[in-house]
Structure 1
Amino acid sequence: MKTGVKRALVLELFNKQGGRCCYCDRAMVIMPRGRAQNRLDAATLEHLMTNRRKGWTRRDNMAAACRECNEMRGSAMDWLMFKTYRRGELWELIGGCKDF
């Protein structure tokens, strides 16, 4: 994907999501090209379904995620499971399974 197209898509998704990360829901920032893009709260383009799992670069498979979540997720974990983990909901779910 060309850089200009990628940046436009990140901005579009950023605005659509209200400037919040699709995983941890914290506020993100849009960084100018070449400026501190390694900030953990910088908005990045994220494949919800990874390429390893037939996740193509299409709008319906993309979201804006903070750099920290994007790098932490990798490609091993399903996006919805990772979202549940990042928001602390996974521990609530596991805690509710004490009766088993």
Structure 2
Amino acid sequence: MTLPPRRGLFSRPITANNNNKGGKQPFVAFDPAKERDELIKLQHGLCCWCGEPFTATGTPREATLEHVKPKMHGGTNARANLAAACKQCNQDRGNRMNEAKQQAAKRKKAARARLTSAQRRATARKRR
């Protein structure tokens, strides 16, 4: 039995219709699979973070497309912001960034609470 081709994030290019120029053929805006494959060749088949070789699809060392500067921090799909990373490193890095974002939010909330209590004390002193 032959398995169908893998479907998912890198299975097909993102396209947009070029109607504003009278064309009916879609043009490729960004092809993640092609970018990933070209980056793998440029990186000699090694992960940009751990330096380990990529392995088969469905394993922790499977190749993924990595945004060096995350899109949530203003990163883009420009070639200069992309790298090939193994799935494990990509996920670990994303988790660390989310944890750092949560820690920063907690620090900001604590600073606001300290400021608020300091303001309350200052107001109470003025009333005396």
Q: Which residue of 1 aligns with 2:49?
A: 23
Distance in structure 1 (CA, Å) of the matches to 2:85 and 2:54: 8
Matching of residues 19-98 of structure 1 within 5 Å: 19-29=45-55, 37-74=57-94, 76=97
Paired AA for residue 39 in structure 2: L
**Structure number having the greater helix percentage:** 2
Distance in structure 1 (CA, Å) of the matches to 2:76 and 2:54: 24
SS at match of 2:52: coil
SS at match of 1:24: coil
Paired residues, what number?
71
SS at match of 2:83: strand
> 1:43, 1:67 within 8 Å by CA — same for their partners in 2?
yes
- The higher relative CO (CA closer than 8 Å, separation ≥ 6) is in 1
**Structure number having the greater strand percentage:** 2
Paired AA for residue 42 in structure 2: K
TM-score (norm 1): 0.64
Q: Which residue of 2 aligns with 1:13?
A: 39
Superposed structure 1 runs of 4+ greater than 6 Å apart: none
* TM-superposition CA deviations, 1:17-45 (whole Å, max 9, x none): 0000000000013x5xxxxx331111100
Pairwise CA RMSD = 2.0
SS at match of 1:25: coil
